[in-house]
Amino acid sequence: MTNTNSVVFESASKTFGDLSALDSLSLSIPEGSIYGFIGPNGAGKTTAMRLMLGIMQPSSGTVSVLGSEDSRSVRSEIGYLPEEKGLYPRMRVLDFVVYMGRLNNMDKKSATRQARTLLEEFELIDWQNEKCQSLSKGMGQKVQLIATLVHDPKLLILDEPFSGLDPINTDVVRAMILNRVKEDATVILSTHIMEQAESLCNALVLINKGKAVLEGSMDEIRSGDTVYLEHDKDETVLHGLPGVVSVKQIGRGATLRINEEQDTHELLKAIVDRTKVIKFDTTSASLHEIFVREVGQDSEPEGVNVA
């Protein structure tokens, strides 16, 4: 991993009429990392990806991709696998992959050579002359993945890459992601499968209702600098607590981000003075638990900066 960032969001927002799909998102995705976008349906993950691809432009703020604020200029270095996967049914498998390669500025010869190599790698070479409509769903997804990789992109953006895959193909995609990162590519993926994100990603952002609720490396997110608290008052009583960086409360449950040096015993004492504590949990939570805590059932993610 290097210190250069593949993607940088700076206060990027996207609105559709009155609807705010993405609200002032700021984050940096280091080159050579596997970065996860997680969040409930409609949170804004796909919008964030479309901003990276240049399919949409931010309403405000900037999105810089591979060093350029105009990602269209570097699109041949980006590979994108959308959530809704599709193929041209009447096109032959090899022709389809070559076509996608050529759209990314490859010449026909090298696109064909690379397509055959990838079809071999994904054990689909025997299907190269078959029409896409004759493929099974899993095979179709692999073909689309091959089409995403054919031009050897530096940045891979995968929207729900494991969706609908059986365990064998899931492993194939995992292996592919890890191989690409070994070759210095950056992989950005969104997923609903927290275990996949947890085991694959170096860092991630949890988005809810267009806002980044959590962002950081996997260690940071899962480390003990987060305390989960259940109490019987609203979150205002938690403001100004020593060593607390931010508070987010949903119902009775509140997530407190604390400084690494903060003694949790001292913190518990301070909280007990202000409210009746029902639960105080400092153990490292799984990503699944973090997701549920942060998003909750009736999510109102309002990050509160605590000075």
Partner 1 sequence: MLNYLRGVALIARRDLLESISTKVFWISALLGPILIVVVMVVVGFLTAQTAVSKGKYAVIDKSEGLGVEIRNEILKSDLHRFVQLVAFRSSFEEEFLIDVKQQAGLNAAENPQSVDDFVDSLMPYLLFPASERRSLPGSTLPARFATWWNENQDLVVELVPDVSSERYVEWNPGGAFTEEQLNTLVENETLLGYIVIPSDLVQTTENAKFVTKNFLKSDVAGWYEGFATQVVRRYRVEQANIPEADAQWVVQRVSFTTNRTVTQDQSSAEGGEQGSEIDTESVSVDEVVTRFAPAVYQYVLWFMVFFGSVMLMTGTVEEKSTKLVEVLLSNADASQLMDGKLLGIASTMLTVIGVWLVLIGTPVLLGALALPAFLPIEVDIIGAVFKPEYVFNFIVFLVLGFMFFGYLFSAVGSVCTSIRDAQTLSAPVSVVLIVPVMLIVPLAMDPSGPLAIALKFFPPYTPFVMMNTAADLPSLPIYLLIIAWMVAWTWASRWAASRIYKKGMLIESKPQGFKGLVRLVRT
Contacts to partner 1 by CB under 8 A: 50, 53-56, 72, 75, 78, 80-82, 84-91, 99-100, 102-105, 144, 147-148
- Phi/psi at 81 (nearest 5 deg)? -115, 110
Distance from C-alpha of 137 to C-alpha of 251, rounded to nearest angstrom: 42
Q: 262: part of which helix (H) or strand (E)?
A: none
> Both tokens of residue 289?
């638990």
Query: Of the two residues 55 and 304, which places its CB atom closer to partner 1 in the complex?
Result: 55
Query: Of the two residues 29 and 285, which places its CB atom closer to partner 1 in the complex?
Result: 29
- Alpha-carbon distances, residue 209 vs 21, 23, 118, 159 (angstroms): 7, 8, 38, 18
Least Cβ distance, residue 162 to partner 1 (angstroms) = 17
Is 29 strand, coil or helix?
A: strand
Query: Of the two residues 47 and 191, which places its CB atom closer to partner 1 in the complex?
Result: 47
Least Cβ distance, residue 102 to partner 1 (angstroms) = 6
Distance from C-alpha of 48 to C-alpha of 62, rounded to nearest angstrom: 11
Q: Identify which of 227, 202, 205 has the alpha carbon closest to the alpha carbon of residue 215.
A: 205
Least Cβ distance, residue 29 to partner 1 (angstroms) = 17
Least Cβ distance, residue 20 to partner 1 (angstroms) = 15
- Phi/psi at 106 (nearest 5 deg)? -80, 150
Helix axes 167-182, 137-149, angle to 10 degrees: 10
Query: Of the two residues 154 and 231, which places its CB atom closer to partner 1 in the complex?
Result: 154
> Both tokens of residue 277?
């504590």
Least Cβ distance, residue 230 to partner 1 (angstroms) = 39
Query: Of the two residues 70 and 219, which places its CB atom closer to partner 1 in the complex?
Result: 70
Strand 34-38, strand 203-208: pairing = parallel
Least Cβ distance, residue 83 to partner 1 (angstroms) = 8
- Phi/psi at 220 (nearest 5 deg)? -60, -45
Query: Of the two residues 83 and 171, which places its CB atom closer to partner 1 in the complex?
Result: 83
